[in-house]
Amino acid sequence: MKKLLLISTITVAFLAGCAMTNPYASNSADSAIANAQAKYNKAHSEMVAWKNTKKILNQAKKLAKTDPKKATALANKAAYQAQTALTQSAEFEKTWRSAMPQ
Amino acid sequence: MLKRLAKIAIISMISGSIMFAANFNAQAEKDRHAFVNYFLKKFKNPVKNQAKYFPYVSIKEIKKDYIYPLSFQAFQDGSLSWYKPSKEQFAEINAFPPYEIPLDDGEALYKKPFANGKTYSSCFPNPAIKQNYPYYDTKKDEIITIGIAVNECRVKNGEKPLKYGKGDIAKVISYLAYKSRGQKINIKIPNANAAKAYEAGKKLFYKQRGYLAISCNECHVKGAGKRLRAEALSPALGATTQMPVYRIKWGGLGTLQRRLAGCVKDTGSEKPKMQSKPLKELAYFLTYMSNGMKLFGPDTRK
C-alpha cells in the first residue's frame, strides 16, 4: 500500500512537472517553434500567410538542435509574421468593400 | 382574415424565394456594371480626367504615350490597350507571334489519338468552348476551369493528367482558345454556392494581403494606366480574354492559373497552388468581370 502511494505520488509529481514549464525550455527552441507553427497554420488555412513565413519556420526547425538560440529567434520572427498577417487580415476585412468601383 | 393573411404571407415567401433563385448573379451584375463603367470613364479622356484617375502621371506624358478613348472591347489588350510604346513594340513582335509554334503543337496534341484511339475531340467535339470557362458545376459543386476540363478528358480516356500552368496543358488550352477567338465570354452563376464562390474570388481580388498589404485592385483597377518601374499596369477588365499567353519572361506559354498564382505571390503572399479553391474562385470572379468581351487568345506578353 505504501509502495503504491509512493508510486502514485511520484507519477502525479512527474505529470505536474511536465505540465509546468520545463526549466530548460528557455534554452530550447521547441516552444517557440510550436507557437510559430500554430500561428502559421492558422494564417495558412485562412490563405493569408506571407511569402517567406514557412521558409523561416523551416529554418528554425532545422537549427532547433544545433543552434537553439538562433532557431528561437527565427521561430519568433515567423510567429510575428503569421500573427501580423492574421491581424492585418482582420483589419482589411472591415474595409475592402469600400475599395470597389461604385 | 387570419387565414387569408397567412396565405398571403406564404405566397409572398414562395414567390420571394423563386425570385431570389432566379437572381444568383444579381450582386455580380451590379459589381460588373460598376467595374466596366469605371474603366470606360477612366479611359475616355485621361487628359481631362487626369486629376481624378491619373494623379500619378503628368498630362504631358498622357498626351505623348496614352491611347484613348478605349472601347469596351479594346481592353482585351491588357497594358497594350492604353500604353503606346508597349503596343508598338508588341505589334512588331507579333508580326511573327512567338506563340505560333506552341499553338501548332497544341493542335497536334488535340488531334493525336490517346492510347485508346480517341482524341480530345471525344470530349470537346466543338473546340470553341473557352468562353464558358471557368464554369460552376452544380453537380460536383465546384468550379471547373478549362485546365481541369482538359485533364478530366485525359483521365476519362485512360491517360495521366498533365501538370498545370505550362507545357502541354498550356498548348492544348491555346488551341482551344484559338478556336474560341471571337466568342463572347459567358460566365454564369447558377446557384447559391456559385454566388458564394464568386464572392470569395471578389474578396481575394479587392482585399489587401501579403507583407506589401496590397490588393489586385490597387494595381489593376486604381493603378491601371500607371507605370510601375519597367511595366505598364494592365486593366483588370479584359484580363482573361487573351489567355494563355506566351511570356517573353517565361520563354513559353503560361495559363491564367499560372499568371494568377504569380500575381498573388507578388503581393508578398504565400504562392497558392494552381487549381486550388481560392485560385479557381479568383479566376471565376475575374472572368465574370469580362463577360460579353470577345476572346482572342493566345497572345504575347512581356
Domain boundary among B155, B179, B203: B179
**Nearest of B212, B241, B250, B206 to residue B228 by alpha carbon:** B212
Dist CA B287 CA B284 (whole Å): 5
Q: What are phi and psi of B65, to 5 degrees?
A: -115, -10
User: Residues B210, B297: one domain?
Assistant: yes
The HSE-up count of residue B237 (CA atoms within 13 Å, CB side) is 29
- Bridge partners, B269 (sequence order): A50
Domain count, chain B: 2
pLDDT digits (tens, 9 = 90+) for B231-260: 999 999 999 999 999 999 999 999 999 999
**What's the CATH code of the domain at B71?**
1.10.760.10
* pLDDT score at A25: 42
Question: 3-class SS at B272?
Answer: coil
The whole-number average pLDDT for the span A46-72 is 97
Is B83 an 8 Å CB contact of chain A?
A: no
Instruction: Single out the residue in B135, B150, B179 at which a domain terminates.
Output: B179
B269 CA: distance to closest CA in chain A (Å): 4
Which of B116, B151, B179 is the C-terminal boundary of a domain? B179
Residues B127 and B219 in one domain: no
- Alpha-carbon gap, residue B248 to B185, rounded angstroms: 26
Question: Cell triple for residue B129?
Answer: 468552348
Determine, yes or no, domain membership for B215.
yes
Read off the pLDDT of residues B73-121 as tens digits, 9 standing for 90 and up.
Answer: 999 999 999 999 999 999 999 999 999 999 999 999 999 999 999 999 9
Per the CB < 8 A criterion, the answer to whether A71 and A33 are in contact is yes
Residues of B annotated as catalytic are: 263
Q: Do B270 and A100 touch (CB under 8 A)?
A: no
User: Same structural domain for residues B170 and B278?
Assistant: no
Q: How big is chain B, counted in residues?
A: 302
Residue B212 contacts A where some CB pair is shorter than 8 Å: no
B22: its cell numbers = 432566379
The boundaries of the domain holding residue B36 are: 25-97+189-301
CB atoms within 10 A of CB B131: 21
The tens digit of pLDDT for each residue in B199-209 reads 999 999 999 99
Q: Which of A4-13, A48-57, B55-64, B259-268 has the lowest mean pLDDT?
A: A4-13
pLDDT score, position A15: 42
Residue A7 has pLDDT above 80, yes or no: no
Interchain contact, B278 vs A47, CB within 8 Å: yes
CA-based nearest distance B211→chain A, Å: 6
The percentage of residues in chain B with a pLDDT greater than 90, rounded to a whole number, is 90
Write out pLDDT tens, residues B124-157: 999 999 999 999 999 999 999 999 999 999 999 9
CB–CB contact B209 A89 (8 Å) = yes
Selected for mutation to probe chain B from A44, A45, A47, A53 (highest B CB count within 10 Å) is A47
Which residue on chain A is closest to B30 by alpha carbon? A102
Q: B215 vs A44: CB contact, 8 Å cut-off?
A: no
Cα–Cα distance, B147 to B173 (Å, whole number): 7
Cβ B34 vs Cβ A102: under 8 Å: yes
CB A64, CB A36: distance < 8 Å: no
Q: Confirm if B156 and B245 have CB atoms less than 8 A apart.
A: no
Q: Looking at the structure, tell me whether residues B202 and B172 fall in a common domain.
A: no
Strands B245-247, B299-301: pairing is parallel
Residue in A47, A88, A101 closest to B213 by CB: A88
Contact A48 B38 (CB under 8 A): no
B174 with B236, same domain: the answer is: no
Q: Which residue has the higher pLDDT, B156 or A15?
A: B156
**Residue B18 pLDDT exceeds 70:** no
ipTM of the complex: 0.85
pLDDT (mean) for A75-85: 98
One domain, residues B173 and B217: no
pLDDT at A20: 44
pLDDT in tens, B154-185: 999 999 999 999 999 999 999 999 999 999 99
CA distance A83 to chain B (A): 12
Per-residue pLDDT at B20 exceeds 80? no
pLDDT score recorded for residue A18: 41
